[in-house]
């Protein structure tokens, strides 16, 4: 009779070297080192009897110049992602740091795997130990270093400053967390008035905008936020960023003013609550529309006067409606506005997704001129979002844009579903730092309104069939990745394409006169010969052309191929490029562009 497999609690501390199987790394000195792209650990069976995981903490070190992605998966090395984080140089291979990441899911008994992905050869991380945690659980100290508690911040009138505590070093995957990379250059916005007033209808973007949801905060003085629109989340577990505040549903922290606005107020004092570091030092509020209003695409705008001060972190942002059932950042995050108190004139806009989160989101920023502060006046913060891009505005001036082609090769654009809205003011955290003797409390973020618009645009732009269609501008895909191209026009191409993989291009207009042939720019470094099938309206739809894809001598050795259409096609159709015919399941073709010709 064989022994029953060992099943441990999903929320116990796990030493990496105790893995049931180590694939690709090496156990040395009580840690697993030499982990790189394609490596994985099998941590055995775990029981989520305590409920789903909400956080995962990892003690890791990295000393390479590159970065990579660590993913926790259920049941197999390609199973559902429970949580993930990006890791770059921590200061050396012996410099271990605790990295928190959001997690979502888990019930019953599962096998737990850790996978490592970078897209390049070479080691990028060592793993010492890890721990999953349910919602509300205290933050563990995997390095066995005492986590300092915050010291109450003195008021500016006190003569002796109190030292600001330093959290345990980490490279977190925060929520929200703007990238600390160099911001994109942007135009200088004009300052708006200091008193609340209606905002004009948005002036940019496709089609006409129609207001579909708003909160004008016109309740009585002291009234709670509208419960039909907002939920006040509560807790003091650090929110993935080692923040100090306890979020409450108290009117002390979120209330309508009676003058047509909402105030979210961060206050000193913990209201008797316990936080991850001990008794809470501050309170604030975090309001969400999850389950009450969620939107895919459109314009999302708020008129806000920001708080200020070292360690104050206001945000107006969005999360995918499938969070936390789908782990962050797979669910997607759009930061419409974030500001950190030590940069009082700068607004950040960012997106986070799988493989481009935390430190490495797609970030932009803009700064007011002449030393002006965002706390001096109301400003309009907005995004305009469609299926291919997101554009950020401050006072109707665009300052940042993120598109599908901006995300790293091999990652997924996850901004194609509904998102909900969040408003919050955090106190402290791994990005803004912590309050000091200069920080005054209370600090309020005053919100004049939040408005959401939809466009009457009929959908994706029409793609003329006889004009060149860039392969990376697909509307949907299966198994396809985009990468930088070395073709004569540079740009990007799609690759990693094997039998059965496909890319979709919506609304291709063939016109009234049917084209007779198809041209396609191809590169094939596999040595295999296959085909690219061109189908209408579905991956298994009507076949209108078969493009042979023979070896070209390299993955970036490009040739233009041509094939005749097998039947006339007119009007608008969704076009699918489907890989087929290769003798094995290996990747065999890259595609740069295609177009139909007479």
**Catalytic choice (84, 243, 294, 333):** 333
CB 302, CB 477: distance < 8 Å? no
Which residues, 6+ apart, have CB-to-CB distance to 255 below 8 Å?
Answer: 221, 222, 223, 224, 225, 262, 263, 265
Instruction: Tell me phi and psi for residue 178, to 5 degrees.
Output: -60, 145
Tokens of 191: 């300052």
The residue among 542, 549, 550, 548 whose CA lies nearest residue 576 is 542
Distance, in Å, from the CA atom of 280 to the CA atom of 265, rounded to the nearest integer, reads 16
Collapsing DSSP states into helix, strand and coil, what is residue 47?
strand
Give the C-alpha separation, 105 to 86, whole Å. Answer: 20
Cβ atoms 471, 592 nearer than 8 A: yes
Q: What are phi and psi of 158, to 5 degrees?
A: -70, 140
Question: For residues 397 and 382, is the Cβ–Cβ distance under 8 A?
Answer: no
| Residue 272 to residue 307: CA distance in whole angstroms | 24
What is the residue whose two structure tokens read 């955290």?
429
Q: How far apart are CA 263 and CA 170, in angstroms?
A: 32
CA atoms within 13 A on the CB side of 561: 22
* Dihedral over Cα of 312, 316, 317, 322: its sign: positive
Which residue in the list 84, 338, 472, 483 is annotated as catalytic?
338
Q: Is 26 a catalytic residue?
A: no
- ∠ CA 60-483-362, nearest 5°, is 55
**SS3 for 531?**
strand
Of 130, 127, 126, 125, nearest to 140 by C-alpha is 130
Q: Which two tokens stand for residue 424?
A: 């919050």
Q: Is 333 one of the catalytic residues? A: yes
Catalytic residues: 333, 338
């Amino acid at each position: 009779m064989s022994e029953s497999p060992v099943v441990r609690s999903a929320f116990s501390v796990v030493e990496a070297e105790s893995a049931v199987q180590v694939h690709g790394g090496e156990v040395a000195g009580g840690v697993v080192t030499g982990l790189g792209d394609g490596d994985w650990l099998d941590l055995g069976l775990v029981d989520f009897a305590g409920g789903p995981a909400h956080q995962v903490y990892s003690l890791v070190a990295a000393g390479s110049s590159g970065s990579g992605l660590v993913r926790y998966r259920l049941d197999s090395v390609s199973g559902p992602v429970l949580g993930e984080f990006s890791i770059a140089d921590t200061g050396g291979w012996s410099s271990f740091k605790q990295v928190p990441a959001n997690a979502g899911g888990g019930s019953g008994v599962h096998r737990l795997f850790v996978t490592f992905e970078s897209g390049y050869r070479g080691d990028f991380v060592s793993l010492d130990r890890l721990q999953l945690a349910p919602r509300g659980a205290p933050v563990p100290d995997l390095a066995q270093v005492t986590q300092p508690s915050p010291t109450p911040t003195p008021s500016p009138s006190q003569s002796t400053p109190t030292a600001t505590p330093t959290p345990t070093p980490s490279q977190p995957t925060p929520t929200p967390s703007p990238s600390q990379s160099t911001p994109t250059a942007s135009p200088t916005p004009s300052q708006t008035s200091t008193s609340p007033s209606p905002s004009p209808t948005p002036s940019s973007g496709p089609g006409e905008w129609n207001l579909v949801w708003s909160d004008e905060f016109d309740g009585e003085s002291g009234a709670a936020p509208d419960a039909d629109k907002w939920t006040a989340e509560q807790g003091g577990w650090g929110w993935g960023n080692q923040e100090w505040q306890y979020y409450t549903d108290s009117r002390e922290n979120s209330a309508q003013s009676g003058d047509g606005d909402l105030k979210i107020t961060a206050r000193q004092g913990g209201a008797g609550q316990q936080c991850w570091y001990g008794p809470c030092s501050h309170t604030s509020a975090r309001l969400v529309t999850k389950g009450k209003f969620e939107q895919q695409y459109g314009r999302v705008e708020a008129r806000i006067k920001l708080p200020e001060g070292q360690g104050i972190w206001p945000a107006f942002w969005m999360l995918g409606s499938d969070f936390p059932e789908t782990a962050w950042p797979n669910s997607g995050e759009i930061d419409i506005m974030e500001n950190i108190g030590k940069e009082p004139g700068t607004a950040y806009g960012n997106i986070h997704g799988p493989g481009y989160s935390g430190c490495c989101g797609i970030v932009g920023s803009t700064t007011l001129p002449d030393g002006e502060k965002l706390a001096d006046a109301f400003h309009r913060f907005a995004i305009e979002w469609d299926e291919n891009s997101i554009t950020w505005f401050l006072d109707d001036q665009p300052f940042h844009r993120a598109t599908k082609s901006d995300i790293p090769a091999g990652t997924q654009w996850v901004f194609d579903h509904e998102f909900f809205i969040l408003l919050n003011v955090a106190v402290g955290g791994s990005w803004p730092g912590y309050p000091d003797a200069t920080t005054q409390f209370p600090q309020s973020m005053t919100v004049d309104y939040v408005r959401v618009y939809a466009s009457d645009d009929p959908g994706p732009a029409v793609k003329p069939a006889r004009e060149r269609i860039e392969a990376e501008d697909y509307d949907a895909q299966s198994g396809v990745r985009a990468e930088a191209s070395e073709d004569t026009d540079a740009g990007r191409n799609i690759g990693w394409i094997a039998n059965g993989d496909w890319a979709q291009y919506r609304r291709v207009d063939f016109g009234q006169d049917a084209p007779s042939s198809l041209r396609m720019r191809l590169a094939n470094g596999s040595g295999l010969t296959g085909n690219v099938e061109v189908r209408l309206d579905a991956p298994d739809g009507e076949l209108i052309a078969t493009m042979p894809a023979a070896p070209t001598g390299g993955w970036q050795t490009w040739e233009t191929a041509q094939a005749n259409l097998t039947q006339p096609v007119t009007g608008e159709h969704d076009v699918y490029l489907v890989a087929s015919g290769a003798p094995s399941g290996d990747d065999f073709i890259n595609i740069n562009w295609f177009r139909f010709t007479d």
